[in-house]
C-alpha cells in the first residue's frame, strides 16, 4: 500500500526494533510504525534513527515522542506507549525513490532562537505599518489594529502562530 506524502498519526510496534549500522558505520535503529486512523489505518512503515554524534540528540527526541522513558537504547521497552505524528516524504536514494518516515517532535516546525518580546513586536509593527498599508490592494479595507500591547493573531509568542506550521 502506497502512503502519500503527508503527516499521520502513528504508534510504534512493540518488539519491531532492528539494530544495525549504516554504510558509513553510524549505529542506527529501525522501528516499525503502525498508522492510526484514516484511510491508511493499519498500514506499517519503518522509521530509521541515526546515532551519529550530530544526529543522536534528534533520535532521542523521537524515541521519547514514541513513549520510551529508559536510558538503555538496547532496551526500548515502552516504545509503543504514545501515539505520535510522523511525516512521510519521498526521496531519491541511490537512483531509487523510497519512502522516508520521520517522527515529529516539538509540536511544530522551526522555532526562532531569538524572539521578539511584546515591546519589540509593537515597534516592528509600527516600523512596517506604512509598507504594509502600501501593499494592500486598491479599495481593500484596512485591517483593525490589535488591542493595546497585543500582537496581531498568528505572530510573535502568542496568538497560536510563532511562524511554525501546525499539523
| Residue 148 DSSP code | T
Query: Minimum mean pLDDT among 12-16, 103-107, 120-124: which range?
Result: 103-107
The pTM of the full predicted model, rounded to 2 decimals, is 0.64
Q: What number is the average pLDDT over the span 34-52? A: 96
pLDDT of residue 1: 53
Q: Output Rg (C-alpha) for the chain, integer angstroms.
A: 22
Query: Residue 132's closest CA among 156, 152, 110?
Result: 152
Query: Over 90: is that where the pLDDT of 26 sits?
Result: yes
Cβ burial of 12 (10 Å; 0-12, 13-18, 19+) is buried
Please state, in angstroms and as integers, the Cα–Cα distance from residue 21 to each residue in 49, 50, 68, following that order. 11, 9, 21
Q: Is residue 12 within 8 Å of 27, Cβ to Cβ? A: no
pLDDT above 90 covers a percentage of the chain that reads: 59
Please state, in angstroms and as integers, the Cα–Cα distance from residue 150 to each residue in 5, 56, 111, 130, following that order. 37, 39, 20, 19
Q: What is the pLDDT of residues 106-161, one digit of tens each?
A: 755 556 778 888 888 888 888 888 877 777 677 766 655 444 444 443 333 333 33
Q: What number is the average pLDDT over the span 29-52? A: 96
Query: To the nearest whole number, what is the mean pLDDT of the chain?
Result: 82
pLDDT of residue 100: 95
Please state, in angstroms and as integers, the Cα–Cα distance from residue 104 to each residue in 16, 86, 141, following that order. 19, 5, 39
Greater pLDDT, 6 or 93: 6
Q: Which three-class secondary structure state does DSSP give residue 59?
A: helix
Angstrom distance (rounded) from CA 124 to CA 139: 25
Angstrom distance (rounded) from CA 22 to CA 41: 30
Amino acid at each position: 500500500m502506497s502512503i502519500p506524502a503527508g503527516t499521520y498519526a502513528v504508534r510504534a510496534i512493540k518488539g519491531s526494533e532492528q539494530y544495525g549500522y549504516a554504510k558509513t558505520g553510524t549505529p542506527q535503529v529501525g522501528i516499525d510504525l503502525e498508522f492510526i486512523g484514516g484511510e491508511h489505518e493499519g498500514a506499517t512503515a519503518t522509521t530509521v534513527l541515526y546515532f551519529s554524534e550530530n544526529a543522536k540528540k534528534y533520535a532521542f527526541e523521537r524515541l521519547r515522542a514514541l513513549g520510551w522513558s529508559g536510558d538503555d537504547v538496547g532496551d526500548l521497552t515502552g516504545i509503543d506507549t504514545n501515539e505520535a505524528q510522523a511525516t512521510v516524504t519521498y526521496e531519491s536514494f541511490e537512483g531509487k525513490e523510497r519512502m522516508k518516515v520521520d517522527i515529529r517532535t516539538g509540536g511544530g516546525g522551526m522555532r526562532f532562537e531569538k524572539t521578539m518580546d511584546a515591546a519589540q513586536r509593537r515597534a516592528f509593527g509600527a516600523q512596517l505599518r506604512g509598507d504594509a498599508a502600501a501593499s494592500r490592494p486598491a479599495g481593500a479595507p484596512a485591517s483593525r489594529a490589535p488591542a493595546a500591547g497585543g500582537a496581531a493573531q498568528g505572530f510573535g509568542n502568542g496568538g497560536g502562530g510563532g511562524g511554525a506550521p501546525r499539523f
